[in-house]
Amino acid sequence: MRSPIHCAWVFPVALILPLPALADTPATADDRRFPPTFITVEGHRDLSPEDWKDPRICGQCHTEQYEGWNGSMHSNAFKDPVFQALWALAEKADPSMRNHCGGCHTPIGISTETVKFHPDEPLHGNFSAPEVAETGVSCDVCHTISGTNLKKTAVLEHGNSSYILDPGNTKLASLSDAESPFHETGYSDHHAKSDFCGNCHNIFHPGNNFPIERTYDEWKYSIYAQNGIQCQDCHMVPVEIAMKVADTLKRPEELDEPSLEGFAGLGGPWRKVVHKHGFVGGNAVITAVMGRVDPDKYEDLGREGNYEEAVKRLQNVASLKLAVTNQDQGGPLHQVKVRVTNERAGHHLPTSLTELRQIWLEVVVTDNKGRELRRSGSLGPNNDLPKDTMIFNAHAVDANGQDTHFPWEIARFVDVNTIPPKGWKYAKYYFNVPDDAEEVKIVAKLHYRSFDQYIADKLLGKGAVKVPSVEMVSVEETYPVAALKTAMAAPADARH
């Protein structure tokens, strides 16, 4: 066992250097050794790929963790073809983006400076790295992160790979009494906290510091953080438990759930809580469309279990509520107001790449004679959304105010329409009810997709994939017209 991590011993080294040399101390020089990331290495060592172990080795004693991780977005963080394509465009626009993007998607590749770009490859080019660096955010990456550099970042907050690497024989996590025949173990409180995730799940533009992805920040100021609920409490437990965590605001440990129990490693004791390692979010594109690219390879891009769980998370995160009001004293014009509530995400809905991710409402109003009175948000023949669709996302522009989807160009968001944790947003639709109608039926559905067809065509090649959508939740109500016209006449406060 190793005592809790500390790096105070760095300072005596600085003291023996001539003063005033603070800006030139080894610690400071090391800070930006892989600029523009904030990665530092414990002891300022030079690292090589041999410093990290292949996840398959860990999997021999940590079968469950390996099965969850293999095929997860973390295991695919480097190989993910959507990432590779956007990274190549970034590299061509600004070569310093290689480290910036890679700092979170291949920590081993960047800290060993072994990533290579091949501009002559088809489409956008391709990056290669030693095999162990291709494993993206691997076991040994996470379990040898020994702390955070948040105080050194440009925004004094976690983000832009603000982690300290200390690869070696000591594996860190939050078990205080672990003993392993294969490696040393070390207790790390950091691993039990959202802060650990925040090192990568908060992204600001390395030039203008604009916060582009701020999942960690969104969580930090949410009701979940106020109640001590961490990212791990929802993303390292089965979805059924995550739902209970969100509903009760209790941590998994407090729920006394037998399904969380198990062995953390071969030969270790039975434990009350063993953490799942699939880290399932909403990504159904990579898991569904890319499928098993090579069934003989130990890692594959899409694990069915992870796909199903992503869908389940999406289907249990939001709720819809309808309210219909007459708009002109018994006349034909009506309004339906749809309330979309973020019931169970510990951050905004959607979060992260909010300029790309799409959550949208589809609303269809018909009468009892089958006439369509209003339709919005139905996908067109080219997998496109009509202009009037209510989409919950962010609208990004560059320094000149031009629309952009490229993270390296983003200067600001001109419109942010994401839904805060346990918060809601309204969408309003208007329709006329024909004189001879007796009933009106309203169907509202909430859908999710990782990005639109235009982005998929641009990044992966035209027609390479048809971006799938997941129906998250739907509500259907039938209203007698007479009741709509009289009893439900709009109260004044519902008109805005």
| Interactions with ligand HEC, residue window 236-255 (CB under 6 A) | 236, 242, 245-246
- For ligand HEC, the binding residue among 34, 38, 127, 216 (CB under 6 A) is 216
Q: Which is nearer to ligand HEC, 153 or 376 (CB)?
A: 153
Q: Which of residues 414-473 bind ligand HEC (CB under 6 A)?
A: 450
Distance of alpha carbon 353 from its chain centroid, rounded? 7
**Residue 225 to residue 213: CA distance in whole angstroms:** 18
Task: Work out whether 5 is an interface residue with ligand HEC (CB under 6 A).
Answer: no
Nearest residue to ligand HEC on Cβ basis: 346
Q: Which of residues 355-394 bind ligand HEC (CB under 6 A)?
A: 357
**Residue 86 to residue 340: CA distance in whole angstroms:** 31
- Kindly report the number of other CB atoms within 10 A of residue 269's CB atom: 11
Task: Work out whether 159 is an interface residue with ligand HEC (CB under 6 A).
Answer: yes
Q: Which is nearer to ligand HEC, 364 or 390 (CB)?
A: 390
Could you give the dihedral angle defined by the CA atoms of residues 227, 233, 235 and 240, in that order, rounded to the nearest 10 degrees?
-100
Question: Using an 8 Å Cβ cutoff, are 157 and 217 in contact?
Answer: yes
**Residue 198 to residue 159: CA distance in whole angstroms:** 6
Mark 30-69 with x for binding to ligand HEC (rule: CB under 6 A) and - for no binding: -----------------------x-x-xxxxxx--xx--x
Mark 268-287 with x for binding to ligand HEC (rule: CB under 6 A) and - for no binding: xx-x--xx-x-x-xxx--x-
Q: Which is nearer to ligand HEC, 182 or 210 (CB)?
A: 182
Question: Using an 8 Å Cβ cutoff, are 132 and 144 in contact?
Answer: no
Q: Which is nearer to ligand HEC, 235 or 445 (CB)?
A: 235
Closest distance of CB 222 from ligand HEC, Å: 8
Span near ligand HEC by CB under 6 A; candidates 263-271, 332-340, 412-420, 484-492: 263-271
At position 74, the amino acid (one-letter code) is H
Q: Which of residues 297-326 bind ligand HEC (CB under 6 A)?
A: 310, 313-314, 317
- Kindly report the number of other CB atoms within 10 A of residue 124's CB atom: 19
Q: Which of residues 188-207 bind ligand HEC (CB under 6 A)?
A: 191-192, 194, 196-201, 203
Half-sphere exposure of 236 (CA within 13 A, CB side): 21
- For ligand HEC, the binding residue among 129, 320, 353, 440 (CB under 6 A) is 353
**Residue 107 to residue 199: CA distance in whole angstroms:** 12
Q: Which is nearer to ligand HEC, 191 or 445 (CB)?
A: 191
Question: Using an 8 Å Cβ cutoff, are 121 and 47 in contact?
Answer: no
Closest distance of CB 197 from ligand HEC, Å: 3
Task: Work out whether 407 is an interface residue with ligand HEC (CB under 6 A).
Answer: yes
Q: Which is nearer to ligand HEC, 232 or 326 (CB)?
A: 232
Q: Which is nearer to ligand HEC, 138 or 376 (CB)?
A: 138
Task: Work out whether 180 is an interface residue with ligand HEC (CB under 6 A).
Answer: yes
Task: Work out whether 124 is an interface residue with ligand HEC (CB under 6 A).
Answer: no
- For ligand HEC, the binding residue among 42, 51, 80, 362 (CB under 6 A) is 80
Q: Residue 441 burial (CB < 10 Å; 0-12/13-18/19+)?
A: middle
Half-sphere exposure of 182 (CA within 13 A, CB side): 12
Q: Is the alpha carbon torsion for 355, 208, 87, 349 positive or negative?
A: negative
Question: Using an 8 Å Cβ cutoff, are 455 and 297 in contact?
Answer: no
Hunting for tokens 């941590």 — which residue is that?
Answer: 251
- For ligand HEC, the binding residue among 146, 148, 185, 453 (CB under 6 A) is 185
**Residue 323 to residue 477: CA distance in whole angstroms:** 10
Task: Work out whether 165 is an interface residue with ligand HEC (CB under 6 A).
Answer: no
- For ligand HEC, the binding residue among 5, 39, 90, 338 (CB under 6 A) is 90
Task: Work out whether 181 is an interface residue with ligand HEC (CB under 6 A).
Answer: yes
Task: Kindly state the tokens that stand for 1.
Answer: 């066992």
**Residue 303 to residue 311: CA distance in whole angstroms:** 13
Closest CA to 111 of 176, 65, 42: 42
Q: Which is nearer to ligand HEC, 64 or 477 (CB)?
A: 64
- What is the total count of residues that contact ligand HEC (CB under 6 A)? 107
